[in-house]
Structure 1
Amino acid sequence: MKWSNEVTDWYSLAEKAIHGSNLTLEEGLAVLEADNEEILPIMQAAFHVRHHFYGKKVKLNMIMNAKSGLCPEDCGYCSQSIVSTAPVSKYSMLDKESLLAGAREALARKAGTYCIVASGKGPTNQELDQVIEAVQEITSTMPLKICVCLGILKADQARRLAEAGVHRYNHNLNTSKANYPSITTTHTYDQRVETVKMAQSHGMSPCSGVIIGMGETNEEIVQMGYALRELGADSIPVNFLNPIPGTPLEGTKRTSPIRALKVLALFRFICPSKEIRVAGGRELNLGTLQPLSLYAANSIFVGDYLTTDGQEVTADHQMIEDLGFEIEMCALSAV
């Protein structure tokens, strides 16, 4: 791959990332604060890193909203929280057959990872039993990785999920430690960190990410990347706030497409070998620039999110094909 003189600095960041040197705060800020005219050289450098570790493969994930609404938490971004007035579906944990049907749909969408997500601070024992029963059947009959997101876990719950065959546990940091109290007050940033570490200690691959656009500073965005690198998150969903009417953050200005691309490039430079996933808010915030996101990221969600619509599945498949990329099918031996 040849580089012009104009992109030497970005190329240096890419080479630094590939060879295991950590991005400095000043270098991270330079990515976020670069002139918009630099976006193509930045994305070219990010692709250099992405290609080194993942080639042109794209991992697909599908979310199942296994329990909706009914949440006692006050997360300002979430339509399912106790402080939200958004008109969302409310139902208790889905039964095994519904979760199995979701897994079959994930396969139909060419997803390699099936994400079972439930609202609430943490699972009850009965809810955990329902999820475990479904996971055991899915893992014994379908070529899918299972990622579970049930909130804050107790040690015994983490052990049981791992023993049942859960590959990954998701618990997003969402924002910086400094910004956290302005977003959520019913639990702490440290509790989230502890849950990610607990899942990892029981053999589940840690999945943790962020939501961009909730009042954080550029320095805090860089620090979020550092925090996820320190945690050793294997999969990093980068969400961009969808300010849903009825939530405390409704009316928040969306992240511009070019800024979103800079953020994705930044996370690729900070966590070069990790799965960077363009997650919630992709369609709203990136708009027509969605294809460019895959020059930094190597993973997307296909289909709808928890309470918001995603891009039509065949459009995602076509986008990947048009880029000359290929869908990575599930390899259960990988992390």
Structure 2
Amino acid sequence: MNWSTLANEVINGKVLTEEESLEILTSEDDEILSLLHGAFLIRKHYYGKKVKLNMIVNTKSGLCPENCGYCSQSSISTAPIEKYRMMNKESILEGAERAYNLKVGTYCIVASGRGPSEKELDTVVSAVKDIKDQFGLKVCACLGLLKPGQAGRLKEAGVDRYNHNINTSKEHHESITTSHTYDNRVQTIEAVKASGISPCSGVIIGMRETKKDVVNMAFSLRALDADSIPVNFLHAIDGTPLEGTDELDPRYCLKVLALFRYINPTKEIRISGGREVNLRSLQPLGLYAANSIFVGDYLTTRGQESTSDHEMLKDLGFEVEFDFEDQEAVRV
């Protein structure tokens, strides 16, 4: 396969076939640089050399009734994590100030649980209004399954984006969780879109799925028209059903990122949880396909120092794209 030729065809409107998509994931390791060059042609066409930075605040930890097999916060996990109920507005605002000082454009307010109570939603709504007034940050909320009317309240408060990952393929979903369905997740994404909030939905790679499952995930997110696609790589946590799972290597992770770029050429592709432990020394190469990363820590696992991320972007010659109001992208 000539990956540059395929990339230019994608730029001109081609949609990959399943066979071409699987060929990306099964390509020889010797082809990685040419595969990534093709991915970069697509990325550069739509995003130039800009990189979006995102930061998470874990506003509620543990105490979740769901049985997701990858999650240390689930009801079936025995992982020794910190557990606490919804933090107050002041703590959420402190996190927003840290994000602003780190030149983070999107501040992600995340809470464990099946979905937010009205009291929890009140806290988020109030905090978002103050974040907009004080810092002008782009805000992404990730609060689980939404009830009727809740997406509208978030939109009115100023939430720009809502994250609800499909996590895996529809065919593999019941192998990961049975406390909610794949369709439940899709319904929340559709409700978010209907409210006028930008949809963010992604995946977790390395949960014993097949390569065909990975291809199906990428096409499902294309069909959902998710604006932002976080690609997580499983960081298996002791005490969860996926404890000890270790299916990934850095080269395969790069092929996955390339796949998502070829299939979703115009979308924000974000290297998310598990990038440090799975991409390891090849992390910089991932940004030739992706155009967004998380900085700082994740929900219950640590990320690398934000200064290391900024140094990586500087060494690559990439730019941080601010999502603050009335500000342009500036060089790191």
Match of 1:28 in 2: 21
- Cα distance in 2 for residues equivalent to 1:13 and 1:333: 37
Q: 2:255 aligns with which of 262, 285, 288?
A: 262
Name stretches of at least 5 consecutive residues in structure 2 with no aligned partner: 328-332
1:75 is aligned to: 68
State the AA in 2 paired with 1:298: N
1:254 Cα deviation from its structure 2 partner: 4.1
Q: 1:324 aligns with which of 309, 317, 321?
A: 317
Residue deviations 1:73-100 (CA, integer Å, cap 9, x gap) = 0000000000000011100111010000
The 2-side partners of 1:10 and 1:60 are apart by: 28
The residue that corresponds to 2:110 in the other structure is 117
Q: CA deviation at 1:108?
A: 1.4
Aligned to 1:46: 39
1:219 maps to 2:185: no
Q: 4+ residue runs of structure 1 moved beyond 3 angstroms?
A: 331-334
Match of 2:154 among 146, 149, 161: 161
Query: Residue 234 of structure 2 corresponds to which residue in structure 1?
Result: 241
The one-letter code matched in structure 1 to 2:48 is G
| 1:146 counterpart residue number | 139
Question: Residue type of the partner of 1:129?
Answer: D
User: d(CA) in 2 for partners of 1:19 and 1:164?
Assistant: 38
* Partner Cα distance (1:316, 1:231) in 2: 30
Q: Check conservation: 1:242, 1:254, Cα contact below 8 A.
A: no
- Give 1:20 deviation, angstroms: 2.0
> Are 2:9 and 1:19 aligned?
no
For the residues of structure 1 that align with 2:4 and 2:213, how far apart are their CA atoms?
Answer: 24
Contact conserved, 1:276 with 1:299, CA < 8 A, in 2? Answer: yes
Q: Is the 8 A contact 1:254 1:285 kept in 2?
A: no
For residues 131-210 of structure 1, the aligned pairs below 5 Å read: 131-210=124-203
Q: How many residues align?
A: 327
8 Å contact 2:54–2:105 — kept in the other structure?
yes
Amino acid at match of 2:21: G
Q: Is the contact made by 2:208 and 2:247 (CA closer than 8 Å) also made in structure 1?
A: no
**Which residue identity lines up with residue 250 of structure 2 in the other structure?**
P
Gap runs ≥5 in structure 1: 1-7
What SS does structure 1 have at the residue aligned with 2:53? strand
- Which of 270, 290, 304 aligns to 2:297? It is 304
Tell me: CA distance 1:162–1:109, structure 2 relative to 1, closer, same or farther (3 Å): same
Structure 1 counterpart of 2:277, one-letter code = L
Q: Does 1:283 align with 2:276?
A: yes
Amino acid at match of 1:85: T
Provide closer, same or farther for how the CA distance between residues 216 and 118 of structure 1 changes in structure 2, counting only shifts above 3 A. Answer: same
> What is the percent sequence identity of the aligned residues?
61
What is the alpha-carbon distance in structure 2 between the residues aligned to residue 193 and residue 82 of structure 1?
A: 22
Q: 2:243 aligns with which of 245, 250, 272?
A: 250
- TM-score in terms of structure 2 length: 0.97
- Separation in structure 2 between the aligned mates of residue 104 and residue 14 of structure 1, nearest angstrom: 40
